[in-house]
Amino acid sequence: MSCCMTIRSRVPPLWTTCPPSHVNPRRRQDVEQLDVATEVFLFDPISDSMMVLNTTAGQVWHLCDGTRAIEDVIVQLAADFNLPADEVATAVRSAVQDLLGQGLLMGASGVQSS
């Protein structure tokens, strides 16, 4: 399982490592989303940038609604793909780290993580 994202952004990453597994990240409400086939296109109006997520990263995006911890996202995707959680964990953590780094996800408190 891989996590592949194409990032078109002029914004430097905010995170350099993935947050702890108990953090409940959630999508920023102002980010526009378009699902096309197996990809998810995200537009950040603040940075005026576009990001294209593959299937795995897109599912992570959809599951990061503030109600699930990163560990819960790992368990859900492992079940969805019928894979062991440890095989899914790296891709999920990478996607969360990238989405947080681009400022598209916020921490559980509702404050953008930095």
**What pLDDT is attached to residue 18?**
65
pLDDT in tens, the chain (114 residues): 444 444 444 444 444 556 677 789 999 999 999 999 989 999 999 999 999 999 889 999 999 999 999 999 999 999 999 999 999 999 999 899 889 888 899 875 443 444
**Alpha-helical regions (H) of the chain:** 55-63, 70-81, 85-101
Q: Is 48 left (phi over 0), alpha (psi -120 to 50) or beta?
A: left
pTM given for the model: 0.78
- Cβ–Cβ < 8 Å for 90, 81: no
**What pLDDT is attached to residue 17?**
59
The β-bridge partners of 7 are 51
Domains in the chain and their CATH numbers?
5-106 (3.90.930.60)
Q: Which two tokens stand for residue 12?
A: 């430097």
Pairwise CA distance, residues 52 & 58, whole Å = 9
Which residues in 67-92 are b (16+ Cβ under 10 Å) and which e?
A: ebbbeebbbbbbeeeeeeeeebbebb
